[in-house]
Amino acid sequence: MEAAPVAKDLEAGMGTRRALARVNLAAIGRNCARMLTELEPGCELCAVVKADGYGHGATASARAALDGGASWLAVAGAREAVELRRAGFENVRLLVMGALSPVELREALQAGAEVVVWREQDVRAVASAGGGRVHVKLDSGMGRLGTRDPEQASRVVATAVDTPGVDLAGVMTHFATADDREDPFFARQLEAFSGWAARVKAAHPRIVVHAANSAATLRDKSAHFDMVRCGIAAYGMDPFGLDPIERRLEPALELSSYLAEVKDCASGESAGYGRRFVAARDTVLGVLPIGYGDGWRRALSNNADVLIAGQRRPIVGTVSMDNMTVDLDGAADVHALRGEAAVLIGARGKQRITAEELARRMDTINYEVTCGLTARVPRVHHRDGDLV
């Protein structure tokens, strides 16, 4: 039997795997520091590390964000909060932004996390689950969690203030269109929230008023209030789907694989399920052991490039669960490329492939690109190349 191909990509001392996500924690720290430059003194940065830190690893990302100046963390669910507490984030203020079943509510409160409420019964449920800090959510137009009625929201505020064991910690909303700079709905939401929040703040000056995600933070200072909740920008992706460099954001995640096989493909021969690539001329194909089982989506079949030896090479044929093929046509000494690293998200020399480019190709958003990487892809954390 032939020996397994040895990959040549040992650049950062991390070794090569069939698929590997290297996450630069120093970049996450710098992105948070960069977002802080947008804020007035006293306005806090809450780093959103839900969904395993948008696929980057929640614990490591949380540490990096706090190092970069974030002072709060936010997640979507109780389990995520518990995991952060277990990982040693014992004292940092931690907000669970999502809906909570009774079991999850108890879990979140026991972890000392703060929770979101919008009905009087939510406040009573918090009290019966042992009490804790609550943030009242006004639905100013997102149409998901929260109450659309400011009077109802004010009643919930009053109930929180009057209920023993419950602390009114904040009021909040969430924008539906902050990432669309042309859309006037953002301004309407901001106006609807601002008036109500100002009245609550006047009566309860110690509460934290918060509304902005990354896009709103970059777009409008009047949306900052006492704290902003940033996820996507912390990971160095652009909330508007454009090139992150334009807003001085630094992508933290690099996805790589390698050429496990290099093989000749004669004109008329095909590669992959469904024969969606048939060679129009003699060429050479490379096989990368990564596929949709790793979160490298099938929608990228015949629809993206990878960087090999500093050059863009097109994916040809169908992306399958564990493998995909690229066309190496014209590469010098092509068979010697066996074992060579392939960068699927990241930069080499002048070439860059961003999550934003992939999102455009798949008609989705950069969030889904990194969140979609599955547990099969090991995350290796480093700081500018030094393993942590």
- Contacting residues toward ligand PLP, per CB under 6 A: 48, 97, 174, 213-215, 229-233, 239
Of residues 196 and 235, the one with the C-beta less far from ligand PLP: 235
Q: Please, are residues 340 and 308 in contact by the beta-carbon 8 Å criterion?
A: yes
Residue 22's DSSP bridge partners are 254, 380
CA 9 – CA 22 distance, rounded (Å) = 13
* 54 noted as active-site residue: no
50 is catalytic: yes
Smallest gap from Cβ 1 to ligand PLP, in A, equals 47
Structure tokens at 134: 């609550």
- Catalytic-labelled residue, pool 50, 54, 258, 292: 50
Per the CB < 8 A criterion, the answer to whether 81 and 111 are in contact is yes
Q: Output 171 or 230, the one with its CB closest to ligand PLP.
A: 230
Q: Report in angstroms how near the CB of residue 282 gets to ligand PLP at its nearest.
A: 47
Nearer to ligand PLP, 133 or 174 (CB): 174
Min CB(50)–ligand PLP separation in Å: 7
Give Dmax over CA atoms of the chain in angstroms. Answer: 77
> Nearer Cβ to ligand PLP, position 214 or 323?
214
171: its two tokens: 């009021």
Shortest gap between Cβ of 214 and ligand PLP (angstroms)? 3
74, 93 in Cβ contact below 8 A?
Answer: no
Q: What is the DSSP string of 265-312?
A: E-TT-EESGGG-EE-SS-EEEEEES--GGGT--GGGTTS-EEEETTEE
Ranges of H-type helices in 296-378: 355-362, 366-371
Q: Which is nearer to ligand PLP, 48 or 331 (CB)?
A: 48
Active-site option among 258, 273, 292, 350: 273
Closest residue to ligand PLP using C-beta atoms: 231
Helix axes 58-67, 78-86, angle to 10 degrees: 70
**Residue number with CB closer to ligand PLP (150 or 236):** 236
Q: Residue 344: enclosing H or E segment and its boundaries?
A: strand 341-348
Measured in degrees and rounded to the nearest 5, phi and psi for residue 201 equal -65, -40
Report phi then psi at 103, rounded to 5.
-65, -45
What is the nearest approach in angstroms of ligand PLP to the Cβ of residue 313? 31
CB of 252 to ligand PLP, least distance (A): 13
Catalytic residue positions, numbered = 50, 273
